[in-house]
Structure 1
Amino acid sequence: MSPDSYLVGLIGSGIGPSLSPALHEREADRQGLRYLYRLIDIDTLGVPPERTGELVRSARDMGYDGLNVTHPCKQQVLAHLDALSPQAEALGAVNTVVFEGDLAIGHNTDATGFAASFARGLPEAPLERVVQLGAGGAGAAVAHALLALGAGRLTVLDALPDRASALAASLNRHFGPRRATAADLLDIAAETTGADGLVNATPIGMAGHPGLPLPADLLHPGLWVAEVVYRPLETALVRTARALGCPTLDGGGMAAYQAADSFRLFTGREPDTARMLADIADLTSAR
């Protein structure tokens, strides 16, 4: 496509409600770009995640400039790329693919998105002891971001204990021994006592999975609380923590910053993150 025209897509499952097309296209319109963002839903196509590579090759052959990749394809896509950014390689997951000639280059903007959101929303938050709920794809990105931001000790809890243990082991290989540990969900009360912060990187709190990811009585005013879920922006966790006086961070910032980082990779242009943050607030309030 021409230098001012871009064709981009999102590969994933059940992505009909995604805000990515609107986020990208709004920013492109403001910058005077022709920018088409298409959804490539494997459920609609009847394609299993194992065929993600075929979708990537087809998109490249059709002239796409790049792709975003979401659940359950972030790991499946790895084997079909020509190179990975250092962060994508460390995370073992890709959420952004940029086509450079015949090459498909994988990136991950989830970790940078969370880090930027955290630095903006909770700049003075203590990081000596942090508890994270969730060790899936989003959890891995958030954990990397927290340790890169300087978290002294990160404890990861997940409904699948082996997944939490595997993530902690990977983090310690990357950041150094004893920076991360896995704990059983049954020990969540002991882990949150005395913790500086809590991050929810599970789907609990989403419109389709309402509720709290932990008992409300484990929250206390000395705890900052960060959320990955952004639909709704005010999850039950954010609302409950805020009522207790906890400093809180909703998931909208991560969504906006990761989209901005992807937009930069696709276009080489600098996105206006303040406007994209406003877009998130507008789009989530409208749905």
Structure 2
Amino acid sequence: MKKKSYLLGLIGSGISASRSPLLHEAEAAHHGIQLVYRLIDLKRLRIETDDLKHLLQWAETFGFDGFNVTHPYKATVIPLLHSVSSDANAIDAANTIVLQENRWMGHNTDWSGFAESVRRELPGVPTGRVAQIGAGGAGAATAYAMLRMGAGHVSIHDINLARATKLASDLQAQFPDRQVSVAAVAKDALTRADGVILATPVGSLNYPGMPFSPELITGNMWVADVIYTPLETPLLRAAREAGCRTINGSGMLIYQAAEAFRLFTGLTPDPLRMVRYFESSIESGRRQGHAAA
């Protein structure tokens, strides 16, 4: 028998602008179930990463059914779980954790959400050589997604060279018929690239700036960013102005949320309906902004 109510949340740092509560609560309302989705901002609550284990114990005690997990805890949470799906294990990051029979089960819906976004919003783009900036939890998912989608060569750059090296080594072992390399500087990754994935928080509201010079982008590239607050980062804007096909992180957010909703509730969501929720919230925010101005 399906449950009629759910208590969920998002664990992250600096997540006040997240649209996840809207997506999950609105879809639940369509299905006629009660769902409350809370933001658990460890930065605001002054909870240290080492306290994640106690947070999960507390959540179980107080009746939470599951969480989404975002930057910077997607990899950190893995050792605290009782089991992980094959995709989460391959990526070594979990963005969705579900409590089932007193056991925390980890999943990764980021990779499939990103892949679906690329398929829908950048149909037919070449993937022979893909540059990726960022090798954290989101970067692990996006690189894995591109390789699952048939990318021939993924070149990864991260300011933490050891992290980029580990990710490249792990993915190369899983995809021995492809090439996964490490670039010491962003320029090396972008040279001759068909497309660029920006899997870093740089450019978001909490981390302003650009991860590399926009002069490295040429108009024959496609550019995908995992950030959706703002919808257009400075680097994504520069890419669009250079003539590149671009997508922001809203598609990845929506499609990963749809799969997470299914894992949380067992119900089949409508991703296109969730797109409309997101677009309506953006439009509402713009109207309120104009009114406030």
Alignment TM class, shorter chain as reference: over 0.9
Q: Percent identity of the aligned residues? A: 46
Letter in 1 for 2:194: D
Matching of residues 59-208 of structure 1 within 5 Å: 59-176=59-176, 179-185=179-185, 188-208=186-206
Match of 2:236 among 225, 235, 238: 238
Letter in 2 for 1:65: D
Letter in 2 for 1:171: L
- Shifted more, 211-220 versus 49-58: the winner is 211-220
- Separation (CA, whole Å) in 1 of partners of 2:237 and 2:278: 18
Match of 1:253 among 251, 254, 262: 251
CA deviation profile, 1:3-50 (whole Å, cap 9, x unmatched): 221111222223333221112111111222111112223234432111
Distance 1:45 1:235, change over 3 A: closer
- Separation (CA, whole Å) in 1 of partners of 2:265 and 2:228: 25
- Separation (CA, whole Å) in 2 of partners of 1:97 and 1:15: 17
Match of 2:218 in 1: 220
Using structure 1 for the length normalisation, give the TM-score: 0.92
Using structure 2 for the length normalisation, give the TM-score: 0.91
Match of 1:270 in 2: 268
Letter in 2 for 1:203: P
- Shifted more, 39-48 versus 92-101: the winner is 39-48
Contact 2:151 2:178 in 1 (8 A): no
Contact 1:122 1:249 in 2 (8 A): yes
Superposed CA RMSD in Å reads 1.9
- Separation (CA, whole Å) in 1 of partners of 2:3 and 2:122: 37
Contact 1:49 1:72 in 2 (8 A): no
- Separation (CA, whole Å) in 2 of partners of 1:210 and 1:76: 24
Name stretches of at least 5 consecutive residues in structure 2 with no aligned partner: 287-293
Match of 1:26 in 2: 26
Distance 1:76 1:245, change over 3 A: closer
SS, match of residue 10 in structure 1? strand
| Residue 243 (structure 1) shift | 2.0
User: When the two structures are aligned, how many residues end up with a matched partner?
Assistant: 285
- Separation (CA, whole Å) in 2 of partners of 1:238 and 1:32: 38
